[in-house]
Amino acid sequence: MRSPKPVVARVGGPARAGGIGIMAAADIVLAAPSASFAFSEVRIGLIPAVITVPVLHRVAPFAARQLLLTGEVFDATLAARIGLVNIVADDLDGAAAACVKGLLAGGPMALSGTKALLQADLDDTDERYAALLDISARQFTSAEAREGSLSFAEKRPAAWVTG
């Protein structure tokens, strides 16, 4: 997000957890129709703390609440509808080439200045990230996270799952 140059992400398969955070930090995201997404942290007892900075800046709030809280898998069509993905394309290589060609038509200083304007209301300061890393670290060391990781590795429901 802090890069002065435009960043394009190309998603051709499953994107989960922190991978979605990386995508959300990009300026333009292209995805194949077969790509799938999930904020899977809560399902293994973790808090998706750090990725909320780019995700909440990009994704519609009503969708972020549902998807971050449920950890459910969603498709590229929904990802585009909520703002996580800009373009869904069968030909990802062609779409990426066209996107880059369009970006290269812009003046380098104009692109950098425009990115600065777009980031003006985004709190991605080192202090914000430090606070979120602390939240994440505390949860990572919890009994819940240990159980979630173990249940994931053992391919069984976590102890808190009922029904």
- Supply the CATH number for residue 88's domain: 3.90.226.10
Position 126, amino acid: D
Domain extent at residue 12? 8-153
Which of these is catalytic: 41, 72, 127, 154? 41
Would you say residue 2 lies in a domain? Answer: no
Contact assessment for residue 37 and residue 16, using Cβ atoms and an 8 Å cutoff? yes
What is residue 127's predicted lDDT score, i.e. its pLDDT? 87
> Domains in the chain: how many in total?
1
| Mean pLDDT, range 74-97, rounded to an integer | 97
The pLDDT mean for the chain works out to 92
Look up 72 and say whether it is catalytic: no
What is residue 135's predicted lDDT score, i.e. its pLDDT? 85
Would you say residue 94 lies in a domain? Answer: yes
| Mean pLDDT, range 87-106, rounded to an integer | 96
Would you say residue 3 lies in a domain? Answer: no
Lowest mean pLDDT among 95-104, 116-125, 146-155: 116-125
Residues ≥6 apart with Cβ < 8 Å to 113: none
Would you say residue 81 lies in a domain? Answer: yes
pLDDT above 80 for 120? no
